[in-house]
Copies of this chain bind each other. A is one copy, B any other.
Amino acid sequence: MGLHIGIDLGGTNVRVASVLENGEVDEMMQEPTEAEQGPKYTIEKIIRMIESVAGDQSIEGIGIGAPGPLDPHRGVILAPPNLPGWDEVPIVDHLKNHFQTTIKLNNDANAAALAEARFGGGKGYESVFYITVSTGVGGGLVINGRVFNGAQGYAGEIGNMILNPHGYQYSNLNKGALESYSSGTAMAERFSDQFGKYGAAEDVFELVSQGNEKAQRIVDEAIDYLAMGIANITHIINPEVFVIGGGVMNAGELIWVPLRDRLEDYVYPGLVEHIHLEPAALSGEAGVIGAALLTQQ
């Protein structure tokens, strides 16, 4: 049995790890991505990192989790905002020139979804919808231990789900999309509108814990829309469990308690007790673990 290598290619850092059968990270390296140096530079760095992690052991499979949009079928990274200048980069082909093994590419949220479904908050469930609430809002669907990509790889792109046609608009997303309400960026923007200064999602939660009503309204709105998004996913595919992670969810019961509460208003009464919301369990390692699982679906 050779190694399973996972690559978590982020806008800031790239991590390469060998991941054991039980989902534990065996060895891991991290380097700055330096995306601005161009794809060739970063890919060569990744190749050196893989060689370093693998040593003289054989490699059974390599998986890459990267920011979208990308084409998982062709193994090509398409112009993601988080990797400026990376336009139609056939990263799987590049790596195949160096490693004669199975190599798969998928987006970072799908990789994390796979890790959470197999070894994290979704362990033991047949259909798992993973949601990450962070700078943006993303997601991934795993059915029977496999990522459900959808026909063009857009399954799980829930940040763009329309919830209010008269709502806020954000960059290239739909007007009133989930991400324009519930993401950390959205909360930070509301903060700056309300308080006239810069503040991150954590600052909003800090004020909430001090009883600040304006901050509470920002959080209420973000949670309300997240609950609507979860209700919509339920009425479209009714997954067995939602696993929810990302920095914003670290606010703990300030977000989890009202989230469960709001959700009750938006699903059929008979369904309420059956909806499982679980916190993500693998924290920062979900991406690299899930990437290593991409060749083992």
In the complex the two chains form, what is the Cα distance from A152 to B274 in whole Å?
8
Please name all residues of chain B whose beta carbon is closer than 8 Å to the beta carbon of A238 when the two chains form the complex.
149-155, 157
Q: Does A1 contact B (CB under 8 A)?
A: no
B266 touches A174 (CB 8 A): yes
Kindly report how many copies of this chain are found in the complex they form together: 2
B158 touches A235 (CB 8 A): yes
B162 touches A163 (CB 8 A): yes
Choose one: B151, B153, B163; the contact of A239 (CB below 8 Å).
B151
Task: Determine how close the nearest CB of chain B comes to the CB of A174; give it in whole angstroms.
Answer: 6
Choose one: B127, B139, B236; the contact of A233 (CB below 8 Å).
B236
In the complex the two chains form, what is the Cα distance from A156 to B234 in whole Å?
9
**Interface residues as binary, A151-182 with B (CB distance below 8 Å gives 1, 0 otherwise):** 11111111111111110000010100000000
Q: Does A232 contact B (CB under 8 A)?
A: yes
Please name all residues of chain B whose beta carbon is closer than 8 Å to the beta carbon of A231 when the two chains form the complex.
160, 162, 174
Q: Does A257 contact B (CB under 8 A)?
A: no
In the complex the two chains form, what is the Cα distance from A271 to B71 in whole Å?
12
**Interface residues as binary, A232-274 with B (CB distance below 8 Å gives 1, 0 otherwise):** 1111111110000000000000000000000000101011001
Choose one: B162, B236, B274; the contact of A155 (CB below 8 Å).
B236
Please name all residues of chain B whose beta carbon is closer than 8 Å to the beta carbon of A78 when the two chains form the complex.
270
**Interface residues as binary, A96-129 with B (CB distance below 8 Å gives 1, 0 otherwise):** 0000000000000000000000000000001100
B228 touches A232 (CB 8 A): no
Using a Cβ–Cβ cut-off of 8 Å, how many residues does chain A contribute to the interface with B? 45
Q: Does A141 contact B (CB under 8 A)?
A: yes
Nearest B residue to A149, CB-CB: B238
Please name all residues of chain B whose beta carbon is closer than 8 Å to the beta carbon of A143 when the two chains form the complex.
143
Task: Determine how close the nearest CB of chain B comes to the CB of A69; give it in whole angstroms.
Answer: 7
In the complex the two chains form, what is the Cα distance from A92 to B234 in whole Å?
26
Given A266-B174, A268-B154, is A232 in contact with B141 using a C-beta cutoff of 8 Å?
A: no
Please name all residues of chain B whose beta carbon is closer than 8 Å to the beta carbon of A228 when the two chains form the complex.
162, 165
In the complex the two chains form, what is the Cα distance from A131 to B224 in whole Å?
27
Task: Determine how close the nearest CB of chain B comes to the CB of A225; give it in whole angstroms.
Answer: 8
**Interface residues as binary, A132-147 with B (CB distance below 8 Å gives 1, 0 otherwise):** 0000000101010000
In the complex the two chains form, what is the Cα distance from A141 to B143 in whole Å?
14
Please name all residues of chain B whose beta carbon is closer than 8 Å to the beta carbon of A268 when the two chains form the complex.
69, 154, 157, 160, 172
Q: Does A86 contact B (CB under 8 A)?
A: no
Chosen A-B contacts, 17 in total, with CB atoms closer than 8 Å, are A141-B237, A149-B238, A150-B234, A151-B274, A153-B238, A154-B238, A154-B268, A154-B271, A155-B237, A157-B235, A158-B236, A160-B235, A163-B163, A164-B166, A165-B228, A232-B232, A236-B237
Add 10 more A-B contacts to A152-B274, A155-B236, A165-B224 (CB < 8 A).
A78-B270, A143-B143, A152-B270, A154-B234, A154-B268, A155-B238, A162-B231, A162-B232, A163-B164, A163-B165
